[in-house]
Amino acid sequence: MISKNHRQNHNFQIIYFLVGSCHTPDAAYALLQDLREEREMAIENYHVSKIKESARMIRANRLCESMDEADKLDGQAELTEIANASARGKVLYRAACDEIEFIDECIEKISLNRKYADLSDSESCQAMQQEEWLLELIHRSENFLLTTGTIPTDHFATMRMHPEFKTKILPKIQEVRSLIQSSGDICLILENGTNLLGM
């Protein structure tokens, strides 16, 4: 069973399933930046909730001072709810901070190998699209050929739209087909599986 343990993603998931799904360092960098931004928003929301919590406590304490017994009970219940939510909030906040710390480590490592590090983040994201899609389409073709022996029509149509279809994608498809027919050894076909982070 996979437990999130208050995090959006564990370190293992970040390394192998998220960054591991990228084919270029620049794509991995863009993905990590998106992950970081989402976790930063969680932290910002925590700070906002702390301010709202203070306002709720003031109102709850006023109810507790009321002469009306029902108001007092409502105030006590509100204070208990605030305390419970605050305890959960601290755990989630700490988990988000830990996740950002790990994401930052990954960004630092991946940045060393980026091709478009001299560009802005948005320009870099645009610049890496052709190569990232090329490698993704090759990866898909390998998976299809190794599992079903054929590439679905819609995916093949997408592959044909790539500007490097004839020069890189099609030759790779032919190479994989040839290897399957000659040896059937999956290890010869699959890449070595080296993670972009070297982990």
**What would the pLDDT profile of 37-82 be if each residue is shown by its tens digit?**
999 999 999 999 999 999 999 999 999 999 999 989 999 999 999 9
What are the residues whose beta carbons fall under 8 Å from the beta carbon of 111, sequence distance 6 or more? 25, 29, 117
Residue holding tokens 């948005």? 122
Residues 132 and 81 in one domain: no
124 near 114, Cβ under 8 Å? Answer: yes
Rounded-to-integer distance, Cα 30 and Cα 121, Å = 7
Residues 172 and 96 in one domain: no
Whether residue 193 is predicted with pLDDT greater than 60 in this model: the reply is no
Residue 198: inside a domain: no
**With bands split at pLDDT 50, 70 and 90, how would you rate the model's confidence at 182?**
confident
Residue 46: inside a domain: yes
Residues 142 and 77 in one domain: no
In this predicted structure, what is the pLDDT of residue 180?
Answer: 86
Range of the domain at 148: 128-189
What total number of domains does the chain contain?
2
Residues 117 and 165 in one domain: no
Rounded-to-integer distance, Cα 144 and Cα 172, Å = 13
Residues 119 and 23 in one domain: yes
Residues 140 and 180 in one domain: yes
What is the chain's alpha carbon radius of gyration, rounded to the nearest angstrom?
25
Whether residue 192 is predicted with pLDDT greater than 50 in this model: the reply is no
Residue 177: inside a domain: yes
* Residue 120 buriedness (CB in 10 A; 0-12 / 13-18 / 19+): exposed
Rounded-to-integer distance, Cα 11 and Cα 85, Å = 26
Whether residue 130 is predicted with pLDDT greater than 70 in this model: the reply is yes
In this predicted structure, what is the pLDDT of residue 99?
Answer: 97
Residue 197: inside a domain: no
Residues 119 and 136 in one domain: no
Q: What average pLDDT does the chain have?
A: 92
Residue 1: inside a domain: no
Of 108 and 184, the structure prediction assigns the larger pLDDT to 108
Q: Which of 93, 123, 153 is the last residue of a domain?
A: 123
Residue 113: inside a domain: yes
Q: Which of 89, 108, 123 is the last residue of a domain?
A: 123
Q: How is residue 6 annotated by DSSP?
A: T
